[in-house]
Amino acid sequence: MAFLTEEQLRNIGFFSIGTNVLISDKASVYGASRIKIGNNVRIDDFCVLSAGQGGIEIGSYIHIAVYSSLIGAGKIMVSDFCNISSKVAIYSSNDDYSGEYMTNPMVPSVFTNVTDDVVLLGKHVIIGSGSLVLPGTTLNEGVAIGAFSLVTSECEEFSIYAGVPAKKIKNRKRKLLELESELMKRFHTEISSR
């Protein structure tokens, strides 16, 4: 995997970008001026970041794996230490499927009824491969989503969810918070609080 150089990253025109940011030269970025990226972030091949009016905020210590996408007019916020596995789709906008309106971005908006809403991923969220996260969803701190899940509503902190639609399976351990503290001490790292 080849990553963009620091100069190439600067030339994209992000609202802000931290240090140690690795973005594949095969990733696609739209609305860069509405995208904030923290420190220690890796975005792999064939990912799509498409920021609408609400923008995209990506914290620190983040990995977004191959073929994943963050798309929509609503705000998408990915807090520190999140891991988005391959082929995950996060949408902050949604067409009206009722048949009362037309759909697709090539149709003038007067004929569509696209809605948008914030999507929030709290600290230490992990989303399994092939999962879909819809607008208005909050995955609170420590949530784990199993592979191929459909997330349509708020998820309780430090809980594991899976299925279509995603349902809580059990609680998730909190030891990772101790590990975060140790990481911060060992590397004297400061990250944004989200």
Domain ranges of the chain: 6-187
Residue 14, φ and ψ in degrees, nearest 5: -60, 150
Chain-wide mean pLDDT for the chain? Answer: 95
* DSSP conformational letter for 129: T
The answer to whether the pTM exceeds 0.95 is no
pLDDT tens per residue across span 132-162:
999 999 999 999 999 999 999 999 999 999 9
Q: How many other C-beta atoms are found inside a 10 Å radius of the C-beta of residue 192?
A: 13
163 is written with which tokens? 């299925």
Amino acid letter, 14: F
Looking at CATH, the fold of the domain delimited by 6-187 is given as UDP N-Acetylglucosamine Acyltransferase; domain 1 (2.160.10)
Tokens 């240090």 belong to 19
Q: Taking the CA atoms of 120, 176, 84 and 23 in sequence, report the sign of the dihedral they define.
A: positive
pLDDT tens per residue across span 74-129:
999 999 999 999 999 999 999 999 999 999 999 999 999 999 999 999 999 999 99
Q: How far is CA 146 from the centre of its chain?
A: 16
